[in-house]
Amino acid sequence: MTAASAECVGGVRIERGAKIPTWFRCGGAADRLARPRDEDELRACLANDPGLRVVGDGANLLVADGGVRELVVSLEGERFTRIEVDEASGRVVAGAGARLPRVINLCVRAGLGGLETLAGIPASVGGAAAMNAGGRFGSFADRVERVYAMDRQGREVELTREAAGFGYRTSGLGELIVTAVAFRLERGDAADLRDRRDEIMRTKTASQPMRERSAGCCFKNPTLTDAIVGVGAAGERVSAGLLIDRAGCKGLTVGGARVSEVHANFVVTAPDANAADVVGLMVEVGHRVRSAFGVTLEPEVVIWRSESVS
Ligand SMILES: Cc1cc2nc3c(=O)[nH]c(=O)nc-3n(C[C@H](O)[C@H](O)[C@H](O)COP(=O)(O)OP(=O)(O)OC[C@H]3O[C@@H](n4cnc5c(N)ncnc54)[C@H](O)[C@@H]3O)c2cc1C
């Protein structure tokens, strides 16, 4: 990462004009980016900008081409990437900046089951909590015991799973900054857990363009208000990808962004893509699905935009 210049706030180095790494690999930069090493440094960042934004692994994020004015923080320090596995009790605590695949692998190796259902989901623990990442094999929330977070005033808070308000690809964490998550896992056979993890990975790689630049599914699966023949009954949550495919969008392109032929709910980007291409394509897909089926798709991808300072 290149930073044009750097300053210090409360002992935290702040990079200027820093690239925000996302899996789309396009979009704008952060005017200011900080990598706080612990809660005190995060508090200093909040004192500097209470409206700061948190980037995790950038796997569900699109940053508008104009970048963002707010301070962006990335929880990369050792304190935020620690993973503590207590094999005897099955309690696992992972910092918000720890990568979810690494947590899964450590648990599988320790013979602790429950998180392997999330195999193949690129995420930080904090991002996976905020989004309640998951799929047909399970959701992040399933194994959460406690969420540790900081509010915008710099106060540390602790939430039970119920208080965290997890729902379908969402949480009730709102403006809280997740600092760590505790999971309660079950004892299992390490070889069985590894096989299950690998099988889920194979299923994902067979049905999703995992090697291309994307942010996974662009839209949430909608709940139908009226039955659609061949798609689902009223009240049923159905595949957004199926609707996008049936609306004839596979292969649709705007600039360097394209609806994947492998999975219609994935928008993939070429090296010359910009964020406006992705947004333009999502708008066009939304129009086509609405006019074909009367269904309004809700974005799953988080889009960061800031008002320009003139
Ligand atoms: C190839 C591929 C496959 C995918 N498959 C799936 C899938 O099967 N299921 C699924 O659910 N998703 C999937 N995704 C999307 C993505 O993996 C998840 O949404 C994941 O939870 C994003 O985590 P992140 O750390 O990358 O968050 P980011 O993209 O960095 O951020 C997403 C949101 O979380 C917030 N956030 C991040 N960290 C914190 C924190 N510490 N505290 C508070 N808020 C925070 C951000 O501010 C932002 O609003 C896929 C993505 C890709 C690229």
Average pLDDT of the residues of the chain: 96
- Is the distance from the beta carbon of residue 127 to the nearest atom of ligand 1 less than 6 Å? yes
Residue 219, pLDDT above cutoff 60: yes
Centroid of ligand 1 to alpha carbon of 278 (angstroms): 17
CB 263 within 8 A of CB 208: yes
Above 90 in pLDDT, residue 19? Answer: yes
Res 41 pLDDT > 70: yes
188 in contact with ligand 1, CB cutoff 6 A: no
- Atom 3 (ligand 1) nearest CA: 216
Q: Which residue has the tokens 């440094």?
A: 41
Find residue 32's DSSP bridge partners.
16, 71
- pLDDT at residue 10, rounded to an integer: 84
Question: How far away, in angstroms, is 131 Cα from ligand 1 center?
Answer: 6
Name the residue among 74, 37, 76 with its Cα closest to residue 54: 74
- Mean pLDDT on 190-217: 96
Q: What pairs with residue 8 in β-bridges?
A: 13
Q: Name the residue at shortest CA distance from atom 4 of ligand 1.
A: 216
36 C-beta neighbours (distance < 10 Å), count: 28
Domains of the chain: 5-74 (3.30.43.10), 79-205 (3.30.465.10), 209-304 (3.90.78.10)
- Name the residue with the closest Cα to ligand 1, atom 45: 127
Closest CA to 47 of 12, 81, 75: 12
Residue 5 has pLDDT above 70, yes or no: no
pLDDT at residue 227 above 80? Answer: yes
